[in-house]
A and B are shown apart, each in its own frame.
Chain A
Amino acid sequence: MADKATMDPLAMWREWVAQSERQWNAFLNQAMATDEFSKAMGRFMDFYLNVQKGMNETMSRYLQLVNMPSRQEVLALGERLSAIEERLGRIEGMLARQATAPAGAASENGAPAAPRPPRTKKPPTPKG
């Protein structure tokens, strides 16, 4: 069997791919666990955040200039909408609790929820 596997060039190639992956992962993980790498990542993150901050500020000034709401203003609106949604959810929940049906269950395809089976199941008894 072993001979057959070693003689099969495709099997050898697959084994080589798997081994190379392991070796590269181990080698790169070692390099990424160094202080230098963490420092470089920190610098990259700084650069990324600076670009992001600059873009945010420029875009916000531009939107103000053309009399459009800024991202912050849209987010504030979103927050207010979420608060309204939450309140509606609470009212809906209270109404559903007053009704006899389970709390407003709605299937994803709109079909009515099926009747529930009894909660009487027992674990299978071990064999022997």
Chain B
Amino acid sequence: MTAPAGDASIEVRVRTEIERAIQRSIKGLEYISTGDPAVGLTPKDVIHSRGTLKLYHYRPQADEVYRVPVLLVMSLVSKPYILDLAPGQSLVEFLVKRGFDVYMIDWGVPRPEDARLRLEDYVLDFIPDCVERVLEDSGERELSIVGYCMGGQLSTMYAALHPGGPLKNLACFTTPVDSDGMVLFKRWLDPRYFDVDRVVDTLGNVPPELIYASFDMLKPAQRVAKNIQLWDNLWNDDFVRSYRLFERWASDQIPFPGECFRQFTKQFMWENRMVRNELEIGGRRVELGQVRVPFLHVVAEHDHIVPYESARPLVPLVGSEDKREVMLKGGHVSLVAGGNAIYRLWPQLESWLAERSV
């Protein structure tokens, strides 16, 4: 005698859930007892280092490469391995395998004495220095830059202040220009209650715990929900692997260099100068209209760190004739790494860069 279809289905579900519960117990122990997953594994050479800064060149993995090298510029508050998480989940690996000659600036972890670093150091010294090294190393006269989040801001500032420079293409991911669109951050840094001078004068660099807490507070219930989700999926190796990679990166924040934070808070968050073309670096005004190279801005539909309202004015403001904004599904991090990125961002970036890299 056979059980009715409905009963069989319930039986299968119950059996599956029991198996998953057993797997959860076994893999839960495994989760606690194993160390952090390895990250940033794409083979690379350090071609230049200066203080905590390292300039990487990723070893080509194609028989021929595009003429124009690509330089990746990361944010100052996160480690760059989000762009090279793990084999199969790495934008860097993808680009290298598709025939791009890839370089990356790793800002490193600022030391206490780096509290004196200002936007001037990054935009007028470190980036131009690395650009020069890339050109020297590749033997080319021009390059493309890809900037993520605050790395996009630094790259855009560099492009605006070096209009005659060697930059050929500029691609930015989730790059904020209008601080009015970053409602919560703006509230928390309200000059009536937040004394940035006292913070920097007392602490030097802004500690990573404060930065981590501020990102966490943007979605306060997420931590609990994520833990529940992890427990629910503990039987699933792929889910756990991906979860650990992202968690490692998210909690691996670095200090924000103090003077740079002071400038950033005053000029960008309080006075919203970037969107008004009034930002001043080394006494020079950053006019976004001076960015005239082919320009791509990729934004995420559900970005809670850089909401669309804060990123939207960038494309209208740059002076390039060849400019494009692309909105993709996903959040601030899933835009660049993980399953979402593999099918959405990476192919878009590849096709945009390829035709402009010969």
Within 8 A of B (CB), among A6-43: 8, 10, 14, 17-18, 20-21, 24-25, 28-29, 32-35, 37-39, 41-43
- Decide if A79 touches B193 in the complex (CB within 8 Å): no
22 A-B pairs (CB sep. < 8 Å): A17-B228, A20-B221, A28-B221, A29-B218, A38-B188, A42-B193, A49-B203, A52-B202, A86-B51, A93-B48, A102-B137, A103-B137, A105-B46, A105-B57, A117-B64, A119-B67, A119-B138, A121-B62, A121-B65, A121-B99, A123-B354, A123-B355
Q: How far apart are A89's CB and chain B's nearest CB, in angstroms?
A: 5
Within 8 A of B (CB), among A52-90: 52-53, 56, 71, 75, 78-79, 82, 85-86, 89
Is A106 an interface position by the 8 A CB rule?
Answer: yes
Find chain A residues with CB under 8 A from B355 CB.
Answer: 123
Find chain B residues with CB under 8 A from A17 CB.
Answer: 225, 228-229
Measured CA separation A14–B136 after assembly (Å)? 54
Is B190 an interface position by the 8 A CB rule?
Answer: yes
Find chain B residues with CB under 8 A from A25 CB.
Answer: 219-222
Q: How far apart are A79's CB and chain B's nearest CB, in angstroms?
A: 4
Report which of A10, A42, A79, A121 forms a contact with B64, defined as CB distance below 8 A: A121
Within 8 A of A (CB), among B22-69: 43-51, 57, 59-60, 62-67
With A28-B221, A105-B46 given, is the CB distance from A75 to B113 under 8 Å?
A: yes
Please give me the residue from chain B that is nearest to A120 by CB atom. B64
Within 8 A of A (CB), among B161-203: 183-184, 187-188, 190, 192-195, 198-199, 202-203
- Decide if A41 touches B225 in the complex (CB within 8 Å): no
Find chain B residues with CB under 8 A from A107 CB.
Answer: 43-46, 59
Interface size on A, residues (CB 8 A): 55
Q: How far apart are B105's CB and chain A's nearest CB, in angstroms?
A: 15
Is B3 an interface position by the 8 A CB rule?
Answer: no
- Decide if B44 touches A119 in the complex (CB within 8 Å): no
Is B232 an interface position by the 8 A CB rule?
Answer: yes
- Decide if A41 touches B193 in the complex (CB within 8 Å): yes
Find chain A residues with CB under 8 A from B45 CB.
Answer: 105-108, 113
Find chain A residues with CB under 8 A from B193 CB.
Answer: 38-39, 41-43
Measured CA separation A56–B217 after assembly (Å)? 28
State the majority secondary structure of interface residues on B. mixed
Extra A-B contacts (10), CB below 8 Å, given A121-B67, A123-B66:
A8-B13, A21-B222, A25-B220, A32-B184, A38-B190, A42-B193, A75-B113, A82-B51, A103-B47, A119-B67
Is B241 an interface position by the 8 A CB rule?
Answer: no
Q: How far apart are B119's CB and chain A's nearest CB, in angstroms?
A: 19
- Decide if A37 touches B187 in the complex (CB within 8 Å): yes
- Decide if B221 touches A49 in the complex (CB within 8 Å): no
| Inter-chain residue pair count (beta carbon < 8 A) | 144
Interface size on B, residues (CB 8 A): 59
- Decide if A117 touches B63 in the complex (CB within 8 Å): yes
Find chain A residues with CB under 8 A from B99 CB.
Answer: 121
With A32-B187, A105-B45 given, is the CB distance from A14 to B232 under 8 Å?
A: yes
Find chain A residues with CB under 8 A from B140 CB.
Answer: 119
With A52-B203, A119-B67, A121-B65 given, is the CB distance from A38 to B47 under 8 Å?
A: no
Is B111 an interface position by the 8 A CB rule?
Answer: yes
Find chain B residues with CB under 8 A from A113 CB.
Answer: 45, 59
Find chain A residues with CB under 8 A from B358 CB.
Answer: 121-123
Is B17 an interface position by the 8 A CB rule?
Answer: yes
Is B133 an interface position by the 8 A CB rule?
Answer: yes
Residue picked from B45, B46, B198, most chain A C-beta under 10 Å: B45
Please give me the residue from chain A that is nearest to B224 by CB atom. A21
Is A124 an interface position by the 8 A CB rule?
Answer: yes
- Rank and list the top 6 A-B pairs by shortest CB-CB distance, nearest first: A42-B193, A24-B221, A123-B354, A21-B225, A105-B45, A121-B64
- Decide if A42 touches B194 in the complex (CB within 8 Å): yes
With A79-B113, A103-B133 given, is the CB distance from A116 to B188 under 8 Å?
A: no
- Decide if B49 touches A89 in the complex (CB within 8 Å): yes
Is B84 an interface position by the 8 A CB rule?
Answer: no
- Decide if B67 touches A120 in the complex (CB within 8 Å): yes
Measured CA separation A37–B214 after assembly (Å)? 13
Measured CA separation A82–B257 after assembly (Å)? 15
Residue picked from B63, B184, B221, most chain A C-beta under 10 Å: B221
